Chains A and B, each alone.
Chain A
Amino acid sequence: MNRVCTEHLTPGMILAKKVIGPDKGVVLEPGAAMTQEHIEALRTLGVSAVFVRFPAHMEPQREIERQVQEHVRNFFIFVDPDHEAFVELYRIAVQRSLKAFRDGWIIPCEEVLHAKNVEHLSDLFFKDAGEPGDIVRHEVGLASFPDIYFKIREVLDNPKSSAQDVARVVNTDVGFSAKLLKLVNSPFFGFSTTIDSVARAVSLVGVKEISTLALGISTINYFQNIPPELMDMRTFWRHSLRCAVFAKLLAAKKNLPSDRFFTAGLLHDVGRLVIFKNMPYASVEALLYARSDMVPLVEAETAVLGYNHTDVSKLLLEAWKFPAVLIDIIAHHHAPEIAHAREEAGIIQFADIMANVAEISAGGLFALPGMAQEDWKLLGLMPRELTLLINLHDEHFEEITSVLL
């Protein structure tokens, strides 16, 4: 007996348990081979899944494979089906989902993927009455940003700052310095010796790198009070951390300063938090639109709000005086072609896509955004290298999460 979502039912499957309607009448008796009409009736009724047996001609393994492929394919609806990277990512996602299924993962039904209701929320501005700048001004006005952040920024802004200066600032917050040390000591950061002090970390990793990493970590603590109905903060930051892990791996392959990319990945969607916080109702519209139309969330934001999270990220990070290089690659991760550093922005774009792929069998909700051929080519990756990347991510992700979340 298998539990199958209504959208994956095919005629011929045999109902294993009866289905009851609102008036307690029996909609369908068990034992009958289902017809197209039966399936349509279940859809109308809003039944999300039923228990079935497969008829003799349906091989259970093949049937599961079909359902998994159908499910995974939905996430690729927005991308170029001839793009070598996406073809490879599709294969990876199907394999991962099949493995997850064998380990007990249940293919989520369409209904489960629908966003929740947030009737009690209201927006700060009506659409068109508020530009990204207004939301950011409001947000920055409220800000009680962690003190440590501003101290780090002062150090970062001063060209004469030394490793000692950074260490001194970071050490003023015990919890924070412990986090930073745990992070750089994790196998993912790959130092052969144990780093037992912040001063040592700074001398090994560099003043700039440690400082930007510190900026990223302090931002995680800043955003609270996001309505949990929209997206719980853990889910949000887990996605961001996956992106950070992929960004660091991709940057390291290209011999770019990888810790900076870790931070950029960590903060790539930060504007979305500001939108959630200030425009919760419009955010729901966007979430519903993204789900019902199966378009990437960034696309739905543009349709509903007239701008998207990258517009907000840009203004927010500018107001917080983040380093310009970071702002450039974060603000353009959905449009590397207009970034100053196109290739670097492309790294974050692809890291975000990989993070989405990793999530398909782990609670992912939204269609993958696309990526232009040119930007993929700039990465200089071969499709066959992607499996290794995702394996490295799997190896380190939970550990990094336990340090930072």
Chain B
Amino acid sequence: MIRHRLRLLAALLAGLGAVAGARAAEYPITPQAVAPDSWAVIADTGYFTPQNGGFLVNTAFIATAEGVVVIGSGPSRAFGQQYRRVIERTAGKPVRELVITHKHPDHFLGNQAFSDVPIRADEKTTAMLRNEAEGLAENLYRLVGDRMQGTEPLLPNAPLTPGVREIGGHTLEFIAVPGHTQSDIAVFDHTSGVLYAIDQVFNGRTPTLPNASLPDWLAALDRLEALPFKTLVPGHGAVTHDAAPIRATRRYLQWLDATLKDAARHGLTPTEAMALPIPAEFAGWAEARAEWRRSVGFLYARYELAELPALAAPDQPTD
């Protein structure tokens, strides 16, 4: 039923696109070399809009001797197709496999362009996508519009097991670091020293928390910071050569947790919590206020309930 609706929507948008003329602008995909044979594509740090076509997540690819390992396929079919051309031109090699790190739509809706290679995700992410992918895609259609045309969720079709794999001269470690969602995989290339932390780490862009578990996420950040990486590719924002974005992401999550706890303890309503001041360190990050409001929407109810004791039955009326 939903799939049917999505097809209908896609057809409708395709029709609109044709009427509007050839408006299918290219995505600004510019790979940045981060190490030998290794590239990252750094995206817009805003929110999903028709203008950015949903391109606001970093992706990356590693050109091994046995083909290219791609990390994340982007937000739409059009993105995936253009991205694959850029990858094969840049790396001079065919793609051998695609790794989906977690279930968020901007990381997997380009899968259609990789249907001829293994698309890997861990069991939990694949299971969640089976139930949620259609809804996640519909939401992106709503926000992004006609540049989503033709996009349909293509589920992962190959396993992604945490642990080390040797691929074409690169020692790649796939590390389970849940917290941003219920299941997230980071990729550490021991050969190049590049850590593809993807959405566990945000750099200068406010973290998004629709499926977050704060204790898990904080534990994941500790684990990532302990790795001997030389280069860090965050999910959103610029590449760095130090752990500063890991620490900044940790400070943001800790501030968020403490602030929501305090708000609930003082009996604030959700809309009051949404209006609380954001400290200078985080206020300049992209989408600071919008993401804070979203996070209050996602998480505050749990904090509110923890502060409301159960009521006893009333005394019987005396009259």
A pairs with B: no
* A→B interface (CB under 8 Å): none
